[in-house]
Amino acid sequence: MKIVVGLGNPGREYERTRHNVGFEVMDRLAAGEDVRFRKSWRVNARIAKTSLGPEQVQLVKPQGYMNRSGEVVAPLIRKLGKRASDLIVIVDDIDLECGRIRIRAKGGAGGHNGLKSMIGCLGGEEFTRIRVGVGPRPDGENLVEHVLSAFTAEERRKVDQGIEQAVEAVIHVIEEGVESGMNRFN
């Protein structure tokens, strides 16, 4: 079983912002598999169960805010008897132009507080991450304001393409492995 986690913030005020691209990827994955997210009674998350290729998969949207994502995911991993290596995390990235994706088998947080929380709570960096570019912050703009802002129409068009590509990447990584995914999508 694989666990695919999209990082984001719960609540209407954060929908369709740069920081919630991970949630948008999860929503598209669930829609494509015709499954619905339900509130988990085990952890503070919304979870959808499905199969992608030969693999049973849990799609997870932590509801504990971006900077505390690890506090939700680590207990879930333990309860399911899984390891961090069974995890694929979808996250926004301001260092990539809008719509570009990048897959990594493991690595650091790169300044991303959601990934810092995941690494801290899991006790290591041994999980796959798929980063979706949301564009750099303009000169002089506060980082928090930038990641919590909406996209322009042109940026939205590009990020929607990136979200679709991230959905394809998740399926590819599950079916063919992370190395094959990196070769195809990076």
Identify the band that residue 143 occupies on the pLDDT scale cut at 50, 70 and 90: confident
Q: Which residues are catalytic?
A: 19
Identify the band that residue 42 occupies on the pLDDT scale cut at 50, 70 and 90: confident
What pLDDT score does 138 carry? 83
Q: What is the pLDDT of residues 86-141, one digit of tens each?
A: 999 999 999 999 999 999 999 999 889 999 999 999 999 999 999 999 998 888 88
Range of the structural domain that residue 67 is part of: 2-185
- C-alpha radius of gyration, the chain, whole number: 15
Q: How many domains does the chain have?
A: 1
Predicted TM-score (pTM) of this structure: 0.95
Read off the CATH number of the domain in which 11 is found: 3.40.50.1470
Rounded mean pLDDT of 160-180?
97
